[in-house]
Structure 1
């Protein structure tokens, strides 16, 4: 069940100074979460509680996927389904609400060959953290800067469970993507390595350091979701 809050979203973004956009582009944050609701028969039927809980000992729970505008903080699109619905399946219901030239920023849950193709095919771009399980064959490539390279992402050999055979057959054989890797060093903590992949191939228009800085702002989506759930009393 997707929702699009077009009027509020458009009104807010119309007030934004273009000089404040990231590299002249609107950035949209995407993430998934869960919400609980009163334990009524109707809610239990529509959104059953976790099967790990005994009947009568849990609340109905729904999975949600939300797209927020980075510059306004507004929730622009929402998908709702039963608990444990795959994050990608939820996200694919609301890609349609992205505007041309939007940049979608997400964590590794949204790192998918098919999704990169669909997003770029709709005139948008994506920046996500690399999912090692889905990108095992991303090797080689051409260095275009320090810890920054352009490479070819080959189509998966087998159809993922999140795609139909028709969707899988319609995918191209390969995609050109950009891979950026860097380390986070905090005194007293173990060095953390981060790898991002993106469809933004122009290194002059979208410098390496700007992309790294932008990914750090992904944490805003966690805060936006927490604020939304608290303000509307959706924790319970």
Structure 2
């Protein structure tokens, strides 16, 4: 190969490096390399759309929800330079298929693990507060998605849109997702929650919804690592035996497991010790069951307030569906594998936004990430990705600091603790219109 041709190829490669510089400031390229090597798709072939560029196009599908994948590649300027700056739509489709969904999944998990271990989050009694809950997403209505994911059916046999059921583990003080598991709608949230076990960190308290009551799952959660605890509302028909009365509203109880549960969870003992507390809010009584049996370390007065943090994961789901997903009816991909890739890309995009918001509050100790507006932060981060000039890579840190300074101004107003939405019984729909009352003639 002629020397000048080698210089030209090297110059093109360096131009490509600068093209992705602003994206590398948000997502560490070494994480992408580890993910590609883990799933075995790393290649030395020089393509017009390299794997890291394809990864950003998948992330961009959530950041630019109303635009086509072809337009997203143009906005992010992620293709290699050449005669034709834009790539063909068919090339983007083939590139997504070459990337697959496992690389996006592993990138999400590596980024979440690295962020959680390197950042300092708010703690309660020395424990990181986590929450577990489930959510569903609709896919495009076609035969492949219906066979893969399934759908609801009514009494006439007519089905709705195919749905994916997802269960997530979230750090509540920042809304950072630590892990997610999703599958067909026929798979229950209890089964999906077991897939989150490898991502449960030590020194943590996980807040579950009432429907996750399973002594087998809770026991495995407790024994997963060091100082791992759980908490969830107690069922009305909870069967237990009082081991010790601490007070009228605080008890150490023994829960008895069933033979069926011990058959499913082989390490499940016949008895489990737990703590049952009762408290009142606005005259209504609540009961919460937990593994926090150390009375000195976890006093009753603090236990009555911590469970309210579980609702933070609901707000996180709202940010994903209404913020990133823009309340769209269904995911845009049509093939099951591409649906999984798009969903992992949305979770990755959500965490990237949250990580930038975490960076923004580091210089202000009085602020927390959830005090910043997610929607406004999302808009300005997208603007940073598409408008920041790249003439001088040395100025990128300065532009990024300006972005963080801007995000710190988007402080949400304090939540109203006394806001009430009284329950209203909806009027039952009638087959015939309501008859108007005739005026009485005098």
User: Is this a same-fold pair by TM over 0.5?
Assistant: yes
* Alpha-carbon separation, structure 2, partners of 1:37 and 1:221: 22
TM-score of the two chains, using structure 2 as the length reference = 0.47
After superposition, the Cα gap between the structure-2 partners of 1:55 and 1:201, relative to the gap in structure 1 and judged at 3 Å, is: same
* Alpha-carbon separation, structure 2, partners of 1:78 and 1:54: 34
The 5 Å alignment of 1:1-236 reads: 5-12=109-116, 14-16=118-120, 20-52=122-154, 58-123=160-225, 124-133=228-237, 135=238, 137-156=239-258, 158-160=259-261, 165=263, 167-185=264-282, 191-233=283-325, 235-236=329-330
Deviation sequence 1:58-82 (CA, Å, 0-9, x none): 2111111011011221111111111
User: Structure 1 stretch 47-56 or stretch 168-177: which is displaced more?
Assistant: 47-56
Aligned to 1:100, the other structure's residue is in SS state coil
* Alpha-carbon separation, structure 2, partners of 1:125 and 1:221: 18
* Alpha-carbon separation, structure 1, partners of 2:145 and 2:201: 34
Deviation sequence 1:90-119 (CA, Å, 0-9, x none): 111112210122211111112221122111
* Alpha-carbon separation, structure 1, partners of 2:112 and 2:265: 36
1:13 Cα offset (Å): 5.2
Deviation sequence 1:170-191 (CA, Å, 0-9, x none): 3111111111111221xxxxx4
Q: Which fold has the larger relative contact order, with Cα–Cα distance below 8 Å and residues 6 or more apart in sequence?
A: 1
Structure 1 partner of 2:53: none
CA RMSD of aligned residues (A): 2.5
* Alpha-carbon separation, structure 1, partners of 2:183 and 2:266: 27
After superposition, the Cα gap between the structure-2 partners of 1:57 and 1:8, relative to the gap in structure 1 and judged at 3 Å, is: same
After superposition, the Cα gap between the structure-2 partners of 1:200 and 1:94, relative to the gap in structure 1 and judged at 3 Å, is: same
Deviation sequence 1:112-159 (CA, Å, 0-9, x none): 2112211111131101111335x3x21323122451111111122x41
1:207 Cα offset (Å): 1.3
Higher percent of residues as strand: 1
After superposition, the Cα gap between the structure-2 partners of 1:198 and 1:51, relative to the gap in structure 1 and judged at 3 Å, is: same
User: Structure 1 stretch 63-72 or stretch 82-91: which is displaced more?
Assistant: 82-91
After superposition, the Cα gap between the structure-2 partners of 1:88 and 1:16, relative to the gap in structure 1 and judged at 3 Å, is: same
Deviation sequence 1:190-230 (CA, Å, 0-9, x none): x4321111111111111112122110111111111111122
Q: Contact 2:150/2:186 (CA < 8 Å) preserved in 1? A: no
After superposition, the Cα gap between the structure-2 partners of 1:231 and 1:43, relative to the gap in structure 1 and judged at 3 Å, is: farther
* Alpha-carbon separation, structure 2, partners of 1:6 and 1:131: 36
Q: Contact 2:112/2:179 (CA < 8 Å) preserved in 1? A: no
* Alpha-carbon separation, structure 2, partners of 1:28 and 1:6: 18
* Alpha-carbon separation, structure 2, partners of 1:78 and 1:53: 33
**Greater gyration radius:** 2
Aligned residues: 222
Q: Contact 1:47/1:60 (CA < 8 Å) preserved in 2? A: yes
Higher percent of residues as helix: 2
* Alpha-carbon separation, structure 2, partners of 1:197 and 1:57: 38
Q: Contact 1:47/1:83 (CA < 8 Å) preserved in 2? A: yes
TM-score of the two chains, using structure 1 as the length reference = 0.84
Aligned to 2:202, the other structure's residue is in SS state coil
- Name structure 1 gaps, 5 residues minimum: 186-190
- Name structure 2 gaps, 5 residues minimum: 1-100, 331-442
Aligned to 1:228, the other structure's residue is in SS state helix
